[in-house]
């Protein structure tokens, strides 16, 4: 009987060993399940049209994400508070800007502002020009200089997930929760500023942060001034992490993309419906303009 228990124990241990996966194996399985390395690395441009719903406020906005590999990242959005002008963030290989039009709302008022990235911010934002799929940092992560770590598995909305922490070459950190069943990303956990970028709200987020060491130009009076030093609340907000959940995957050009992503901001839920995906279509030159 004792030998039987030992044999069962060894069998269970051996089976668990066989089932255990390394972080490399998890990411490789993710890549294969999401189109394969050839399809993902063949993407040179990616354009996504989305509708942002602020459900508790009863308002919405259209958001467009444009990426051209190693050349351009731009996110353009209408103002959910109303108004004809759109806000945007643009990042090229030489410069970065965010623009927020003037607006008045119950949440406050703001003059139009064009904010230039510092060289440090521009370098840190370079990963945004990566367009190898919806979760591009995971693809060819070693070549890009990113470092992954496999943490203890967790459940996301009842789904068993591998938990992969990814530290980007530029220092940012993202945690991916990858379904064990089909290797789709069900959640990304990251800092508030990066989460806002991923949800298409980077320009508004930067404007409300009040400069944070960046150069700002007021379009109304063309006055330039140095950015303000971020206060304690801004620093704490920048370090706080929040979750973005992904669901309703559909195939586009043979690659599964999530068509819905949501984030909970206190009592308010922000939902982004990704409606159109354009892969390897020409980029309109207007998206390169700061205007």
How many folded domains does the chain comprise? 1
Q: Please name every residue paired with 4 in a beta bridge, in sequence order, or none if there are none.
A: none
pTM listed for this prediction:
0.81
Q: What is the pLDDT along the chain (291 residues), one digit of tens a residue?
A: 554 444 444 343 433 333 468 999 999 999 999 999 999 999 999 999 999 887 656 677 899 999 999 999 999 998 766 567 899 999 999 999 999 888 766 556 678 889 999 999 999 999 999 999 999 999 999 999 999 999 999 999 999 999 999 999 999 999 999 999 999 999 999 998 888 888 887 666 665 554 433 333 333 333 333 444 444 444 444 568 999 999 999 999 999 999 999 998 777 788 999 999 999 999 999 999 997
Token digits for 234? 């801004």
Decide if 63 contacts 47 (C-beta within 8 A). no
Domain extent for 267: 2-288
CATH number of domain containing 157: 2.50.20.10
Q: How far is the C-alpha of 33 from the C-alpha of 27, rounded, in Å? A: 10
Q: How far is the C-alpha of 249 from the C-alpha of 183, rounded, in Å? A: 12
Token digits for 101? 């039009």
Token digits for 229? 């030093």
């Amino acid at each position: 009987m004792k030998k039987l228990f030992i044999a069962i124990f060894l069998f269970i241990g051996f089976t668990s060993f066989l089932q255990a996966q390394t972080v490399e194996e998890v990411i490789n399985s993710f890549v294969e399940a999401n189109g394969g390395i050839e399809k993902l690395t063949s993407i040179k441009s990616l354009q996504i049209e989305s509708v942002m719903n602020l459900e508790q406020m009863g308002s919405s906005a259209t958001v467009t994400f444009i990426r051209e590999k190693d050349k351009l990242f731009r996110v353009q959005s209408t103002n959910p508070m109303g108004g004809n002008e759109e806000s945007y963030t643009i990042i090229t290989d030489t410069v970065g800007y965010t623009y927020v039009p003037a607006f008045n709302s119950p949440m406050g008022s703001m003059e139009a502002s064009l904010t230039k990235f510092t060289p440090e911010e521009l370098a840190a934002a370079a990963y945004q020009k990566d367009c190898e799929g919806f979760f591009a940092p995971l693809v060819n992560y070693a070549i890009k200089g990113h470092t992954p770590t496999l943490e203890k598995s967790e459940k996301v909305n009842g789904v068993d997930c591998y938990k992969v922490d990814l530290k980007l070459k530029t220092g940012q950190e993202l945690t991916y929760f990858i379904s064990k069943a089909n290797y789709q990303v069900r959640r990304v956990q990251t800092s508030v500023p990066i989460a806002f970028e991923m949800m298409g709200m980077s320009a508004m987020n930067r404007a409300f942060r009040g400069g944070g060491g960046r150069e700002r130009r007021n379009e109304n009076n063309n006055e330039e001034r140095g950015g303000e030093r971020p206060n304690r609340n801004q620093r704490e907000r920048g370090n706080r992490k929040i979750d973005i959940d992904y669901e309703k995957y559909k195939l586009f050009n043979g690659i599964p993309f999530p068509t819905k992503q949501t984030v909970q901001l206190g009592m308010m839920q922000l939902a982004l419906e990704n409606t159109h995906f354009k892969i390897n279509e020409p980029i309109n030159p207007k998206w390169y303009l700061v205007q």
